[in-house]
Structure 1
């Protein structure tokens, strides 16, 4: 019943905005790039607005249009996906999808919930029960703090802080509460006494998951935020020895005719979310450090490798090509899988978030995919919250399901492509700038 109400509310909001009655029903070929981008961004934004868990205002882990949920987790919110959603909410406020008053009310609800929700040495868990604020275990031993998911949440919160910090008295008070949440994360404690950051800690199982985070993957922003903390910072040595493994992160190689400088965790090139999650707020343009001379160029090549692999299509899946590419972590024909441009990790499943969230790196190539999905595949892949999570033309498989961690990057990266808004906000935070300088980063936006 709650799902039906959410869907009804979403459709009503879109109809009032003229999206359902107007451009959403027009063929993709008749829409300008700007109109198509706005249609996709607005519909995807609504996952985090009308589709939000009602008590917390945060992002539901998943929304299934059939109303069937595993383990009764309809009210479970995702910490990292909520960070992405916070960025999307800022974009929606700025674009007038909702009023500023509505947006402030939503942010006050979000912050109030985060203030009382379970935290473990300042870090939130991966999943939170939206009705109570209590941890919902992601796994038996994953029932405590999740520093990576917390980093994705904080990335959004710091952008929100900058958005509200110069506003009226109410907005400044909201920014101050966000600052208190930020200062409460004990980043340095998650070193476990070593020069590396650990992903998890449990009050029952301690460090038993034993997941030390080394690069390169989606976790770069976690190390930057840990260095940036004004209260519980890490030293540069933790980044050097932990993330970069004293330079072993550098592994120059070529894939599909494109050069890469970094090592990608056991594969020549991994799933595309590794190019998205850290860079929703962190601006890769002109960003460099001791290990990568051009993060934007690296992520552009990383995206083009994914596209080139799909065009080559060594496993001969139906539909793959220049208008239909993008392998990343998503729903799959057999559960959930981290699809990647290597044959053993390719199951014929395309996730719209993969190519669409790469639009900042590959604008023309990503627009080709957007027009294909919005056009020929429209009836199969388009729903009330934008494009569904994943599909397979080979298996004639088109589940009507959404995941917050895949919807969020679509809306956020479209906005960065259009206005650079979220990049500008996050990068303007003085603590973020201090953290980048501390780790030896260079960027045109560092003051």
Structure 2
């Protein structure tokens, strides 16, 4: 197949996870395709899931009326679901909308997952812009949900946003949201919020740690502007950028197009170098990120490497490393084939050293795969998210420069 046809096939097959496998009661994606998760809805993955509906309409896999019907069900569910100071939990029960604990003390608000959700909802609000009552209702419900998130409350009156709050354990998790990782979108949306917004100073002291998130060192002949040595897991370059367009995006701390290209390039070159001599690592088999390995979901990166390749890592990096990502895609599809390819696209991961191939799919990685491939092909999600006036105001407030900001 030609490259474009193969990309289309991967996107469309992966979309089955969000369309055919969605929870029947609420229309949102399940955390993973496992019987123990049949009621578990994932908040961040749902943000990516609603954005995949835009791709599906544009590519004519479904029609606009089908997408509107699904979105009407989704936003009605979210309006009634349990919230904590306007923020959603990491997991929800797809029938009742009640919080499902993600961990012992993580049984309340998850502000980063909430940000991933609203990145998707604001994109939907922009795209479904017709004046009929169905699309108006979707937009109105999203706007109401958006206004209700108490972003500034999650500062605790301190110099950063905090990730979790629990009605039982309060601030016991005590996790500051600080860079550099996957959570940039949280500060962007907190600054963009029409109610309960945060200041530029909080962004600088909390997220940027007064400049301490900078790196500036060289790895594999590539300068890494921000974050941990060797870049960390690749989802840092994906989750906040399904809607937030990194092309030409700059602030006082980095050029984010350069940041993400450097991160993906270092990850690729590490796998090609293959210092631990794992089987088949190389130009065609690369990509370290958070994914399943055997019975556990684990973080994988150049400093936490056990030979497991995350399929979404290379595929979602295609906007940054197009040649290298296409080589990986062809290896996944043409060489590994049905060991990792199935009705919902590629499975989570594989480890050829240990002759292990995942059969699982995780919503957040499936979603990032579809969206980042689409952004590479057409810039579709970047276009609609970056058009949002609230988003533009938030970016300007934090001192960002972008071709989208007039």
Normalised by the length of structure 2, the TM-score is: 0.98
Mapped pair 1:427 → 2:386: yes
Mapped pair 1:308 → 2:269: yes
CA deviation after TM superposition for structure 1 residue 102, in Å? 0.7
223, 237, 242: which is aligned to 2:206? 242
1:285 corresponds to: 247
1:19-418 alignment, distance < 5 Å: 31-64=1-34, 69=35, 72-264=36-228, 267-292=229-254, 294-333=255-294, 335-342=296-303, 345-418=304-377
- SS at the partner of 2:349? coil
Structure 1 regions of 5+ residues with no counterpart?
Answer: 1-30
In 1: Cα distance, 2:170 partner to 2:145 partner: 23
In 1: Cα distance, 2:308 partner to 2:184 partner: 27
CA deviation after TM superposition for structure 1 residue 167, in Å? 4.5
Superposed CA offset, 1:115-172 (max 9, x none): 0001000000000011111000001110001000000000000000001124433212
Q: Please, what is the CA RMSD of the aligned residues?
A: 1.0
Contact kept in structure 2, 1:148 and 1:199, CA below 8 Å: yes
Contact kept in structure 2, 1:275 and 1:299, CA below 8 Å: yes
Q: How many residues align?
A: 406
Contact kept in structure 2, 1:255 and 1:269, CA below 8 Å: no
In 2: Cα distance, 1:208 partner to 1:257 partner: 42
Contact kept in structure 2, 1:128 and 1:135, CA below 8 Å: yes
1:27 corresponds to: none
Normalised by the length of structure 1, the TM-score is: 0.89
In 2: Cα distance, 1:130 partner to 1:333 partner: 26
- SS at the partner of 2:225? strand
- SS at the partner of 2:230? coil
CA deviation after TM superposition for structure 1 residue 334, in Å? 5.6
- SS at the partner of 2:231? coil
In 2: Cα distance, 1:58 partner to 1:100 partner: 17
- SS at the partner of 2:335? coil
